[in-house]
Amino acid sequence: MSDADVELPESIELAWGLRERPGKGPRRSLTMRQVVAAGIRVAETDGLAAVSMSRVAGELGVATMSLYRYVPAKSDLLDLMADTAYGDPPAPRGPHEGWRPALARWALANVAAIHRHPWIRQVPIGGPPLGPNQVRWMEQGLAALRGTGLRGIERLSTIMLVSGYARNWATLTVDLDEAAAREQLDPDDAGARYWHQLARLTRHGAYPAIRELLVEGTEGSEDEVFDTEWEFGLERILDGIEVLIRGRTAPD
């Protein structure tokens, strides 16, 4: 089966620049990149909820329906925005860099991308990665695991595990920060309030494990806790991968 006749979704062809310009009609007054950039500008300023076709069109000084000459539907615009916002993947694994630091760098870059463009987390995932930047991130993630003895599908599962963790963690922290900001609260105070709320709700009833946790306390500022929690989860995952790799390298 030849690869040439594999059909690609319209928005993917758009993103990779595989659509030839028609040539016939009047000159286009915009480019797809401009439309995507305008969408990003709106999301950056007022959040993803503010990204409506009419708002983006307004940003470009153009009628709402004109955008549909550049993008098949709003969901495609969002996909293109997300792919663009992820930007370049981190530097590839260096010649003397182990898989573990390389993968840790890749994971942190995932978090940084979402923290840089918090609206990304709200873009609905529309299938496996096919956008140009998504594919380049995938390439760098897989590259970090070359020569580890992991099978292909295991390398794939590994980077999905790591990027999923990064996405979850970034989403969680951004959600909490935004919720605190919405109530004009310090993130630290919001965290403390949560523990008080949980304590009140579990005062009556059988929640021994939660009460044990509350008694023990969760000292430290939110910032410290957040960094520590990120490291904690990442180290657990990397340790787990290392167990497998060691088992592979030194055959039983």
Q: Which tokens hold the place of 208?
A: 């021994």
Tell me the closest approach of the beta carbon of residue 24 to a copy of itself, in angstroms: 27
| 102 contacts 150 by C-beta, under 8 angstroms | no
Using CB under 7 A, which residues numbered 70 to 129 contact DNA? 70, 73-75
Residue 54: exposure state from Cβ atoms within 10 A (0-12, 13-18, ≥19): exposed
- CB of 35 or CB of 102, closer to DNA: 35
3-state DSSP call for residue 199?
helix
Scanning 5-13, 63-71, 182-190, 243-251 for contacts with DNA by CB under 7 A, the matching segment is: 63-71
| 163 contacts 113 by C-beta, under 8 angstroms | no
Tell me the closest approach of the beta carbon of residue 220 to a copy of itself, in angstroms: 8
**Amino acid identity of 210?**
I
Q: Counting contacts by CB under 8 A, is residue 108 touching a copy of itself?
A: no
Q: Counting contacts by CB under 8 A, is residue 212 touching a copy of itself?
A: yes
190-204 burial code (b ≥16 CB/10 A, e <16): bbeeeeeeeeeebee
Q: Counting contacts by CB under 7 A, is residue 218 touching DNA?
A: no
Tell me the closest approach of the beta carbon of residue 186 to a copy of itself, in angstroms: 16
Q: Name every residue whose Cβ is closer than 8 Å to that of residue 35 and which is 6 or more positions away in sequence.
A: 56, 60, 67, 70, 71, 77
The one of a copy of itself, DNA, none whose footprint includes residue 28, by CB under 5 to 8 A per kind, is: DNA
Task: Figure out which of the listed residues 95, 125, 184, 251 binds a copy of itself, where binding follows CB under 8 A.
Answer: 125
Q: Counting contacts by CB under 7 A, is residue 134 touching DNA?
A: no
Report the Cα 160 to chain-centroid distance in Å.
11
Tell me the closest approach of the beta carbon of residue 29 to DNA, in angstroms: 3
Cα–Cα distance for residue pair 97/134, rounded to 1 Å:
23
Task: Figure out which of the listed residues 95, 216, 250, 251 binds a copy of itself, where binding follows CB under 8 A.
Answer: 216
The one of DNA, a copy of itself, none whose footprint includes residue 52, by CB under 5 to 8 A per kind, is: DNA
Tell me the closest approach of the beta carbon of residue 61 to a copy of itself, in angstroms: 32
Tell me how crowded residue 123 is: count the other CB atoms within 10 A of its CB. Answer: 20
Q: Counting contacts by CB under 7 A, is residue 24 touching DNA?
A: yes
The residue ranges that bind DNA (CB under 7 A) are 22-30, 50-55, 62-66, 68-70, 73-75
